[in-house]
Amino acid sequence: MQIKDAPLNADDVEAPLAVTLVVGSNRHGRFGPVVADWLLGRMRDRDDLLPAVLDVADANLPTTFAPTSAAMAARSSVTPKLAAADAFVVLTPEYNHSYPAGLKNLIDWHFTEWQAKPVALASYGGLSGGLRAVEHLRQVFAELHAVTLRDTVSFHNAGASFDEGRLKDPSGPEAAAKVMLDQLVWWGRGLREARERRPYGA
């Protein structure tokens, strides 16, 4: 006898996605919060997203992988935000042609929380706009069974692109953010439905 999956309620399929915006820099004097605030505004403008923020600077995760009480306490404030997310937007600067150590540490402390979920990548930097960091992150998230989106939002010479937190010319970034977040919703809903029908195993 063939057992068929029970159909999902249409309201469940179209329900807004819980999306965690990961702010990937913890450097003193970082520019990340400016870009993060702008991204968060684009996310909050949409009815199909329910955004939350996880800032690497606030995570306080140890760099030594050992199940100490301090490590478990730090994870208790971080892990639920990742586990509850249907999808992610990861914002990274570029340090020495790659992404920051604090972001890698946050990623490495988790595994199942990333699985079978979409990850949108946004970046900022100098001439490259952080895109080399983005390409390195794609390899890492592939290893974690996450799906990274093709389209990104990147800010070249980011410091000169904003004036008191506002973009001087928002037309290009606004269009790029819409494409990226549209893709995130498509993948997020599809993968959420797939996980609900049959748990992912890796």
Q: What is the pLDDT of residues 78-113, one digit of tens each?
A: 999 999 999 999 999 999 999 999 999 999 999 999
32 domain-assigned? no
Domain containing 127 — which CATH number?
3.40.50.360
Q: Which pLDDT value is given to residue 3?
A: 39
pLDDT in tens, 16-62: 999 999 999 999 999 999 999 999 999 999 999 999 999 999 998 98
What is the Cα–Cα distance from 121 to 22, expressed in whole angstroms? 10
Residues 3-27, mean pLDDT to the nearest whole number: 79
What is the pLDDT confidence band of residue 202, given thresholds at 50, 70 and 90? Answer: low
105 domain-assigned? yes
Of 72 and 56, which is predicted with more confidence?
Answer: 56
107 domain-assigned? yes
10 domain-assigned? no
2 domain-assigned? no
- What pTM, to 2 d.p., does this model score? 0.92
Closest among 17, 11, 2, 9 to 189, alpha carbons compared: 17
143 domain-assigned? yes
**CA 5 to the chain's CA centroid:** 30
Whether residue 6 is predicted with pLDDT greater than 90 in this model: the reply is no
Q: Can you give the residue range of the structural domain that contains 168?
A: 37-63+75-196
Q: Which pLDDT value is given to residue 2?
A: 43
110 domain-assigned? yes
3-state SS, one letter per residue, for the chain: CCCCCCCCCHHHHHCCEEEEEEECCCCCCCCHHHHHHHHHHHHHCCCCEEEEEEEHHHHCCCCCCCCCHHHHHHHHHHHHHHHCCCEEEEEEECECCECCHHHHHHHHCCCCCCCCCEEEEEEEECCCCCHHHHHHHHHHHHHCCCEECCCCEEEECHHHHEECCEECCCHHHHHHHHHHHHHHHHHHHHHHHHHHHCCCCC
Q: Which pLDDT value is given to residue 75?
A: 87
Q: Which pLDDT value is given to residue 7?
A: 56
122 domain-assigned? yes
C-beta atoms surrounding 183 within 10 Å: 15
Mean pLDDT in the chain?
92
Number of domains in the chain: 1
Residues 135-155, mean pLDDT to the nearest whole number: 98
Is 89 strand, coil or helix?
A: strand
